[in-house]
Structure 1
Amino acid sequence: MKILFLGYWSANEGLSVSTIYPHLQVLAAFPFVDRIFYCSIERESTLPAFSIQLPKVSHIPLHSPPQQNVILNKVNDFILFPKKLNTIIAQEHIDLLICRGAPAGILGHLVHLYTKIPYWVESFEPHAAYMLESGVWPKWDLRYLIEHFGESAQLRTATAIMPVAEGYRSVLISKAVPEEKLMTLPCTVDVDYFGFRETTRRQVRAALGLADQAVCGIYVGKFGGLYYDEEAFEIFRLSRQLIPNFHLIILSPQPAEEIRKKLMDVGFQENEFFVDGKPHHEIPLYLHAADFAYALYRPSPSKKYLSPIKIGEYWAAGLPVMLSEGVGDETEIIAAGKGGVLFTMKSVQTALKEMRKVVEAVSKSDYKELAIKYRGRRHIAQVYEKAFALTAAKPSSDIYLQTK
């Protein structure tokens, strides 16, 4: 069998490294999979070198020439890329298309209409709703309309749909999407790679100048859009105020100087924080130095259908999470007394006081067990096995999928 795996990000982006590469590795381990062609979308003028080395996997970058207008860029994607994908499918005799995320799934739908190839959409979330509710896209923005109608189309034509949250699977079933094609697959993590190491903790804390009694919070990711921005820095201010010997680590791709200025504007001294942008493979070092982590999502109704990979990474590293209430299946897990503390902007002070108790009371190994149970890599192979069986039972008119 030959598989084309389509991502919607650059091959070297953190999301690709953390969520696509592991899936390619699992696919390559199936004995009936002969070759995998991984297509990334590259928007910079120079194409990156592909760093992953896996048997059976070949990288085919799809270059998206930058347009003056982001809407024109989106339209160009959906005109140009289906033609390129159709050509690859014909030349390489592809049997199955796997799309990572609903934006990539729109391309999968368009390709399916032309080739009749079966396709899956994993990490299927209500992306259009996220962007609308977060104020990133207005309701009549062409990007919103394309995504909204594209998600509906995928639910009709994809062979397998893999939402990341069980709550969203239930919603889709209530909307008459066939239950057998819906397979929940959360964003998984390499628990051993992120697993807590005391030696690393001591080394990194020493390098950062942290005293033994310092309580360190860590935030990994961006500010704004789906996440809190100014509110996040108010939460950091209250953390400094309420937690003795507090120190903050921020690892973000956004400009470090801007983040440092915002921290100092809310009262931080230069020796009370560390801000930098680190590649994904270095993040565990800093997680080990921390005592708890922040997951600061801007609340909206559709956030309950998220599966933030960073929560799995935090748990694997032995960290309780301060999580915005209403995010993913994790809200129910934490509400049941496991994994951290929930908060709203009205309850930040109460949540921080509770976090102080949690940090002192719970063993790091307990959080690792949560990561294994809810975010372990075994979930990928288990769901793929079901999807392969379903796809083999429903061959397209042009291409018959065989699991030798």
Structure 2
Amino acid sequence: MKSINLLYLGYWSAHDSITHSTIFQHLEVLSGFDKVNKVIFCSIERHGEIQPVAIPIPKVSHRPLHSKNLPGKFITKWLDFFIFPRQLKSLIKKHNIHLTIGAGTQAGTLVLKAAKNTPAKVLVSFFDPHAQYMRALGIWKKYDPRYLYLNYWEKKLKKQADWLFPVSHAYRQTLLKEGIPDEKLFTVPCTVNLEKFKPDKEKGLAVRQKLDFSAEDTVGIYVGKFGDIYFDEEAFDWLAAVNKIIPQLKLIILTSQEKPRITAGLQRAGLAKNDYFIACVAHQEVPDYLNAADFAFSFIKPHPYSHAYSPIKHGEYWACGLSIVLPDHIGDDSAIIKKSGAGVVVKNLTKPETDLRKLPAVLQNKKPIFIRNLARQNRKPKLVGDIYTNILSGT
């Protein structure tokens, strides 16, 4: 059996929680194949130079790429897309790489440029229409150089990459309608470690005691940010509506954003100081907090391209048996929740309370085992393994 060497590029720091929650699962799967000899994992470090990190996965070694982080984002990004492909090409040649993998459209662009004029094949995992949704959300304008550049390379990836892994079935259908060949498209959602994320009443009660929340309180949780691709003021409007609907409501907010701004929003929503807890915690601590909750929020903004999402937080919520309150048209998940009844899908964004009034009935009919099975069906790591088996069998 021919052995192969892989290069996997993430677009985030090796220390970033999204790297641990998404990319590491792919690295674990890939390292488990007998024919894989080694995996070179490259991260992009934007806050100073770091030494290679010891990755606790067999066959995987780390090579950090260091962004210059100069004044002005445009200059820094331009240099990244000029310098990194050269560094990656050097690694491809040095380690005799057979397959390059880029996590997301930006990383995919970098490996496509690096693999040019080499025998290495190109795969883009977590493929999404990043440029399109940044424009749809108004974050990038039509003539923004970032939009023009990434939109150009998204089109290139669709034509030139050997395989694309969209994260939702809905977006795969869109790509098929665009004429992308069926054989290069594989739906691979953001999967969840079901051993780390699972119901645990004891740990949940311990967190409640630590936060001074009682067993009788109804606790909602949100993991993530406010603003940008997520709701900002609208999120606090939702929380205000739920606070009126649910007696003894308590909230846990796990975020890396600064507390004062979020505290002000929660107070506007009518929550007293002892009704909420805000913190930034390590990814391995998140399951304990999820187990302290009765339900979860997702504040991703819906837009014409939001069907391409697969939020990792949804899988983690499901794995811990939590119902989700979320907008319509988010990846495959809104449709799954509508069909299963495992949460509340807010369709009326101008009057969210219309749909949020359904929440008490959902909470009265808790079904954590059924909800955890949604994670087993839609976000289990075996989905990743099955797809890579298909890809590597022909490499």
Paired amino acid for 1:250: I
Name 1:61's counterpart in structure 2: 64
Separation of aligned partners in 2, 1:51 and 1:275? 31
Q: Would the aligned equivalents of 2:89 and 2:114 in 1 still touch at CA under 8 Å? A: yes
State the Cα deviation string for residues 40-98 of structure 1 (Å, max 9, x = none). Answer: 00000242762531110100000001021111111111100000001111111111101
* Structure 1 residue 143 corresponds to structure 2 residue 146: yes
Cα distance per residue 1:181-239 (max 9 Å; x no partner): 10000000012211010111111111111122111111100111110001111111112
Match of 1:314 among 307, 314, 317: 317
Question: Per the alignment, in what secondary structure is the counterpart of residue 191 of structure 1?
Answer: coil
RMSD of aligned Cα (Å): 1.3
How far, CA to CA, are the matches of 2:52 and 2:271 in structure 1? 39
**Is 1:355 equivalent to 2:387 in the alignment?**
no
The DSSP-based 3-state class of the residue aligned with 2:71 is: coil
Q: Cα gap change, 1:192/1:270 in structure 2, threshold over 3 Å: closer, same or farther?
A: same
- In the other structure, the counterpart of 1:396 is none
Runs of 4+ aligned structure 1 residues displaced above 6 Å come to none
Distance 1:114 1:81 in 2: 16
Distance of 1:338 and 1:198 partners within structure 2: 23
Question: Structure 1 242/320 Cα, relative in aligned 2: closer, same or farther at 3 Å?
Answer: same
* Aligned counterpart for 1:368 among listed residues 367, 372, 394: 372
For residue 183 of structure 1, what is the aligned residue in structure 2?
186
| Structure 1 counterpart of 2:41 | 38
CA offset digits 1:300-347 (Å, max 9, x no partner): 010011111110000001100001111111121112133311003234
| Alignment match, 2:385 | 381
1:6 corresponds to which of 9, 16, 35: 9
The aligned runs of 1:217-296 (5 Å cut-off) are: 217-296=220-299
Say which SS state the counterpart of residue 219 (structure 1) adopts. strand
- The AA in structure 1 aligned to 2:213 is L
> Aligned equivalents of 1:172 and 1:206: distance in 2?
48
Higher helix share: 1
Q: Give SS of 2:305's match.
A: helix
**1:12, 1:51 within 8 Å by CA — same for their partners in 2?**
no
Give me the whole-angstrom Cα distance separating, in 2, the residues matched to 1:116 and 1:176.
26
Q: Name 1:399's counterpart in structure 2.
A: none
- Report matched runs for 1:76-87 at 5 Å: 76-87=79-90
Matched, 1:108 2:111: yes
Q: What is the percent sequence identity of the aligned residues?
A: 37
Partner of 1:133: 136
Give 5+ residue unaligned stretches, structure 1: 393-404
Instruction: Tell me the equivalent position of 1:205.
Output: 208
- Report if the CA contact (8 A) 1:315-1:339 is conserved: no
Quick one: which of 102, 116, 121 aligns to 1:99?
A: 102
Separation of aligned partners in 2, 1:157 and 1:163: 15
Return the TM-score normalized by structure 2: 0.96
Which deviations, in whole Å up to 9, do the C-alpha atoms of 1:250-283 show, x marking residues without a partner?
A: 0001112221122123322110000011111111
Mapping for residues 341-352 of structure 1, pairs under 5 Å: 341-343=344-346, 344-352=348-356
Inter-partner Cα distance in structure 2 for 1:126 and 1:284: 30
Q: Aligned residues, how many?
A: 391
AA matched with 2:151? H
Three-state SS of the structure 1 residue aligned to 2:13 is coil
SS in 2 for 1:194: coil
Contact 1:12–1:48 at 8 Å: present in 2 too?
no
> Does the CA-based 8 Å contact 1:3-1:96 persist in structure 2?
yes
1:11–1:48 Cα contact (<8 Å) kept: no
Question: Is the 1:165–1:185 contact (alpha carbons within 8 Å) kept by the matching residues of 2?
Answer: yes
- Deviation of 1:114 (Å): 3.3
